[in-house]
Chain A
Amino acid sequence: MAKVASLDDLQELIKTAEQKISLSSNLKELNDYKLEYITGKKSLLNRLTQGLKNLTESEKKSYGQEINAAKETLNSAIKGAEERIHRNYDEEGEWFDVSLPVPKAPIGHMAPDTQVIRQMNAFFTYHGYSVAEGPEIETDEYNFEKTNLPKDHPARDLQDTIYIESPEVLLRTHTSSVETRILSSHKPPLRFVVPGVSFRNEIINQSNHAIFYQYQGVLVDKDVSLANLKATLNEFAKFLYGDKVKTRFRTKYYPEVEPGAGMDILCRFCSGTGCRICKDRGWIEILGSGIIHRNLLAKSGIDWKVWSGFAFGMGLDRIIMTKFGITDIRDLHSGNLVFTQ
């Protein structure tokens, strides 16, 4: 026979019982609590009531009141729990197959182009560049004359132009037209990148398209050096391809720059020994760059004796294709590309 608990102990016991009842998750469990605390032969309430026998009359009275209150509390807790369990009968419910396959909830994706462009923009905005843009229908002036490609320049042959109104109105053949537009309308110092589409009248195949995307960068300031350019591009290559990337900086001709430079990364297919993919060079070209040609600055109204700059440009399509495992450039924008869940 248990000793009669003190008043404090009694309240503690009731609180514990009330909490257990309120957390019971099914009717069977609740029934067990009912037996344990209220209705069972050896239930808490019964034991407490039996304990009354040994008490003085005055003690009996105050204790009896406490026990009655406890009984009420527990009964109402049981009732509440019963209602709750009936409402949420599924907590116990029927057999359920949690492994049942379901369609994935749909989410939206940015186009591969946007994803790659945003990634690059993140790097360059961190380094103080603005993201710029310009028209796609262009004039000969901004596309050619100001980019140091005057009429009859041999390099114009390399850029088979698509004309709307020959020879003055055309589709820009490179994003350098945005470079000349911004240099012509803003005062240095300037830093900006231009992600955008360009057009050339070229035979298209698996790896070349007449409509292609470029990413161009321009910095104009005082005393700009090839060392600045090389360091910037090295950091960019690390950002794109990881810290371990090996880069190479070499002379390359572009009419918009002088001196001109190309940047290669070590071929990851042969690690530099030379293979078909890198044309036996051991290296893969990722971008073209250089110190902005004095003629280009002059034609854009910038005094090259005070200001100098560098520019770089790269094709985006190949990077996008590699990242997303697309093997045919014609699939990029023809309506074939689908995000499935």
Chain B
Amino acid sequence: MRVPYGWLKDYLEIDKSPKEVANILTLAGHALDKPIFGEEGDKILDLEDRGNRADIMGIVGIARDLAALTGKILKFPLTAPLPASDNNKFIPKITISSKKVLRWTAVVLRNVKVTPSPKWLAKRLASYGIEPLNNVVDVTNFVMVELGMPLHAFDLDKVDEINLRAATRGESLVTFEGTKLELDENDLVAADSKKPLTLTTAIGGRSSGIAPTTQNILLEAGLYDQPTARRSALRLKIKNETSQRLGKYLHPKFCEVAIARSLELFKDILDVSPVTPGFDYYPEELGPTVLNLTFSALNTIAGEEVKPTEAKEILKSLEFKILNETPLNITVEVPYFRTDVVGEADLIEEVLRIRTYEKIPLFLPNRPAPKKLEFPERDLEDLARDTLTKLGFNEVVSQQIIDEKDTIKTGLFNENKIIRLQNSWNEELNIMRPETLSGQLKYGLSYQKHGVTTIKIFEVGKSYTQTGTGRGLEKYKETRKIAFSANLDFLSFKSFVETFLKELGNFEPVWVKEKLVIYKEQKGAILKTNGEEIGEVGELKQALLSNFNLEGTWCHACFYTQELLKQAKPNPASGVKTSIENLVAEDKTFEVDARAEAGKLLNRLRNEMDPSTKIKFVGIFENDELKKQNKKNITFNFKFALKKAKEESEKLKNLIVTA
């Protein structure tokens, strides 16, 4: 909302500079949105328009707040009386055929002379940023900016009747600016017997507007269902002074006040008065809002005592009427223009706002802290972040909304599981990511471009899929993942995976070879703990890598937070030993089938031997002779605890492994 400083001064005495005024208004809820601009003596304050107050879309509304804030009296502009209304005798014939019309007030003025406006009026409008046109249109615009209530003037001789009704699909309207609007049944129009004359919630039409030749006018102020006004404007892409104001919750009383103010100006500038009768459609008159303010509630929220007299004076300065008072509370009538004040908390804000929040004291909350809320997944993911950064991985955060082409490049695209957005700011970015791999590989490419030789990255994030069953939210699944990638070969990468899992939850998973879409056939595995799948690891396919312009060998691992959480074991010792244990070491070699898996054999040995015996993989030996027999040798190192050395060594000697 632009507020010309000079215009603001019409309604109250101001002994402060534009900057000081802007500062006072900012503290009270009307923040300066842009630097003060305009010529010296004609400064414009552009105030943020985000609140729920309709009244401050008029300069008088701002003036009223400023008066209360600076202890001055508001000078409300002069008005002229409305002619008595008689809707049946009003000419032209007005029909209201939509429930979305909340009030419609109109008067007819005859024998007007359309000329340029007087200088003061043209200057006021220009300072606000509206180009002066002629005295009739300028008066309606002036009152709109002054009070916040839009008005419209028809050339009466171009209008045989007016019907306020829903448009029908296929109807159109050429605006006074020359734009053609394609209307439908959601739009509200003022039409004559043939066609829409105005989109009454937003913009006037060309055919019935004021021209230099206009002699008789119909001046109207109407209020409509606000959501309808907002939706029409949004759909038809109209954003103007009228649509912005009619989209707010203006009180129907504004109709009569705006007409009364216009009549005063028409009398003053054009020397014309309305004919009798006038027209006033107001089917459901709104009574005043009456609210209670309890002083104790005010004091609690303020955090200190606010004197009842101070609270009352502030409310009175904002034109609230005190209807009743006791030592504990007051009952007030909310002025019609403050449609935003609907509860006690609103009254409290009014008092504290005009007092300014600067006066509110500082007291930290002093009650005991409540019980901690538990989010174990989050804790585990935080530990994963710590562990992976210790292992030299860099964390990345990629976008949740992606281009489906990226998922297609990974080979993980599955139309049935994709969550598509119904609307997006970008045509290409239109699905929720079903995988976190593509986002990670994009980061990988950036690292590659920066010439980083060993690239290790991770992301803690979600993938989003639909399940196809259930209703509403049930259909959609957010899967928490800890995923990491590096340009390393399988075994080097595996070292990191093993350390990560050990640190995270003492995991010693079983590696089960599995053909997965993204990995090389022999180098992909599912990791299981207690028979449950906790994640997957593998060397990425060459074709996939080239889709992302990545060079060399890359591995990727992806773990499911939920599953990890279920299987994690406490890791209290975390590898710390107080002294060197007395251990007796011994190597043993097993001759096994050429395709026997060393990891599986190790697990078997661990099951066979006492838990105090530490077993380590040493190496694999193959020679031509063994190969001929389709065999290989695998050597393990056994460390026995002193006490059990003899017994365990004996056990090992007799251990027969067939694989």
Contacts and interface: CB of A to CB of B under 8 A. Distances in A.
Interface of A: 103, 106-111, 113-114, 127-133, 135-139, 151-152, 154-155, 157-158, 162-166, 168-169, 171, 182, 186, 188-192, 197, 199, 201-204, 210-211, 219, 221-228, 230-232, 234-235, 248-253, 255, 258-262, 274, 276, 279-282, 285, 291, 293-294, 308, 332-341
Contact of A154 (B247, B346, B396, B462): B247
A262 B31 contact: yes
B399 A333 contact: yes
B390 interface: yes
Contacts, number: 260
A235 to B, nearest CB: 7
B35 A280 contact: yes
Contacts of A282: 23
Contacts of B33: 279
B621 to A, nearest CB: 31
A110 B32 contact: no
A8 to B, nearest CB: 38
Given A197-B400, A337-B446, A227 B390 contact: no
A108 B226 contact: no
The interface size bin for chain B is 35 or more
A190 B373 CA distance: 9
Contacts of A106: 392, 454, 456
Contacts of B301: 225-226, 259, 291, 308
Interface string B354-393: 0011101111110111101111001000000100111111
Given A131-B378, A139-B473, A224-B365, 5 more contacts: A152-B227, A201-B424, A226-B357, A255-B52, A260-B349
B270 interface: no
B341 to A, nearest CB: 10
Contact of B353 (A103, A197, A235, A259): A259
Contacts of B364: 228, 231-232, 235
Given A226-B301, A251-B28, A281-B31, A133 B473 contact: no
B50 interface: yes
A338 B398 CA distance: 12
14 contacts: A114-B385, A129-B369, A130-B375, A164-B421, A197-B400, A202-B425, A221-B365, A225-B302, A225-B363, A226-B357, A248-B27, A250-B27, A280-B36, A339-B394
B360 A249 contact: yes
Nearest to B388: A108
A113 B424 CA distance: 24
Contact of B392 (A107, A276, A280): A107
Nearest to A273: B19
Interface string B602-626: 0000000000000000000000000
B362 A210 contact: no
B151 interface: no
Contacts of B388: 108
Contact of A251 (B29, B370, B445): B29
B50 A158 contact: yes
B450 A340 contact: yes
A103 B451 CA distance: 12
